[in-house]
Each structure stands twice: as C-alpha cells, then as structure tokens.
Amino acid sequence: MTGTREGAGSISWSRRGLMARVLALTGLCAGQASAQDVPVLIEMRKFAFVPAEIAIRAGATVTFVNLDLVPHTASATNDSFDTGTLRRNERKAVSFPAPGAFSYVCRFHPHMTGVVRVT
C-alpha cells in the first residue's frame, strides 16, 4: 500500500519534473525565458540585427547568423566579444557568462547596432 502510494507519488513527481523540463525548454516556466535552455538566435538581415535587443540569463549563448550577401560582424563596443567576420550564412555562438548590457555594432556597417541585456 505504501509502496503503491510511493509509486503513485513517484509517478506524480516524475510528471511534474517532466513538465518543468518541458516548460523550461520552451521558455514558458513562470513566464521567464530560460536562455540557458532555449537557443537564442540573432540574424544579420537586410543590414540590421534581428532582433536588435534581447534579454537573456547569465550563462546563455547567443548565436549570430549572417543572412546578407555581404560580410558582417557583431562587435561589442566595450570589446567584450567579437564574432569576427561572418560571411553569408556563416554563424558564430557567443556566451554571456556575466550580467550587464552589451552594446554591439557591425564593424563594417556601424549603423547596424544591437544590445544584449544579461540578467
């Protein structure tokens, strides 16, 4: 009987755990996107970073991908990160281990700007 209850309880906790993992993976847990679990993609498209501004958790990784014909970079204005030159369809993952607001530009096309806010 106890075993049955424990068994029932185990099944219940398992379901909760599964649900929590699903929610975390889909970024829906308690209304907060868990950027450690959800891939974050910033496109370089038509001479703009899309999205131009994002908020992520410390430790998350952002992937920049260039969809334009010409080379671009994502280069932090405080020199904290730099994707280097990304040609068409090339991508680069950048990790953000510490909180802060990280503004960046394309070194070739300085009117392209963005910011990653890390909490």
Partner 1 sequence: MTNRKTSHASGFAAVALAAIISAGCAATSKAQDPAALNDLEIAHAAYVAGDIDIRNAHLALALSDNPQVRDFAQLMLTDHQAVNDAALALLAKLGADPQDNPFSQSLLSGARKTWGDLARLSGHDFDKSYAANELAYHQTVNSVVGDAFIPHVENAELKDLLGSALATFQAHEQHAAQMVEAIGQ
Q: Is 30 or 69 the residue whose CB approaches partner 1 more closely?
A: 69
Q: Is 61 or 85 the residue whose CB approaches partner 1 more closely?
A: 85
Among the listed residues 9, 19, 39, 47, the single contact to partner 1 using CB under 8 A:
47
Long-range CB contacts (< 8 A, 24+ apart) of 96-100? 96/56, 96/58, 96/59, 96/60, 96/61, 96/62, 97/58, 97/59, 98/58, 99/58
* 52 is an interface residue for partner 1 by CB under 8 A: no
* 68 is an interface residue for partner 1 by CB under 8 A: yes
* 88 is an interface residue for partner 1 by CB under 8 A: yes
52 close to 115: Cβ distance less than 8 angstroms:
yes
* 89 is an interface residue for partner 1 by CB under 8 A: no
Query: What type of residue is 82?
Result: D
The least CB distance from residue 79 to partner 1, in Å, is 19
